[in-house]
Amino acid sequence: MNRFATMIFGMALVLMAGTAIGAEEAAKHVVPLELKDCVKCHMQAVRDVNTRGGKHQTAVSCQDCHLEHPPMGTNAIPECGMCHDASEKAHYALENCQSCHNPHYPMEMDFTQIASVKPVCLTCHAGPGQEMQAYPSMHAQLDCKECHLTHGQATACNECHAPHSSDMTYQDCLLCHKPHMPLVVKYGDNLPSPLCGSCHGDVSQNLANTSRKHGALLCAYCHKGQHKVVPECSTCHGLPHGSAMHSKFPNCLDCHLDAHALDMPK
């Protein structure tokens, strides 16, 4: 090897050694990332988590999920199962979480681009599934996204169904109908009678015209709790005409013709 080649080879060895030593020294002086550093590059992600992140904002920090950051590490995107244990809930055992959830705002879900969401929904919302199974209706045959386009949103009844009266609101519908079992018509004791009258107009008119005390009662006072419940007159009135009369005429309506219009001519 001539003198020039020897010199070049020696310089290369020195340079390589210097580079190795430099890298080792640099590694000793790497400043670890802190939580406050995330926003410097990932401003939108931090803003999303802070304003829309739910428990991802309050229960964990960026570094609880993103354990490493390139180029110092490759474990930057966490698996959902790292926190959401499949043994705790059937929903956590599902795959492809990000088809519904954005980790930075996980509870804002748009279902419009997903073919079928019902099997997934029922892993969290077992109650509605049980209601639809126990009380079959046309609603039970629909995919959840037909009414719930996004998580937590519900399509108003009158967007698909003609209301019983022109002034009926979505909240009025919910006083009698539960969307997952709509054919079971149940209501509270304070249900406004005009809602009943929107279907039962003749009865409502008779009550409005009668001078008897029944006209001052809410429909739900007698027809308690559920549609088509018809009480016995004796529930409120006992046996006002004596046992002999009631034995001879057991059916009050043979004489009193219409409980909604007791002053109707006989």
Amino acid 218 reads: L
Whether pTM > 0.85 for this model: the answer is no
pLDDT digits (tens, 9 = 90+) for 132-146: 999 999 999 999 999
Calculate mean pLDDT across residues 28-36.
79
pLDDT digits (tens, 9 = 90+) for 82-121: 999 999 999 999 999 999 999 999 999 999 989 999 999 9
**Cβ atoms of residues 219 and 191 within 8 Å:** yes
Cis amide bond preceding 71, omega within 30: yes
**Burial of 124 from C-beta contacts in 10 A (0-12 / 13-18 / 19+):** middle
**Dist CA 233 CA 260 (whole Å):** 12
Question: How long a stretch of residues is the chain?
Answer: 266
Give CA angle at 13 (7, 15), nearest 5°.
100
Q: How far apart are CA 208 and CA 193, in angstroms?
A: 11
For residue range 212-264, list pLDDT tens digits in order: 999 999 999 999 999 999 999 999 999 999 889 999 999 998 888 889 988 76
Q: What share of the chain is helix, strand, coil (3-state, %, to 5)?
A: 45, 5, 50
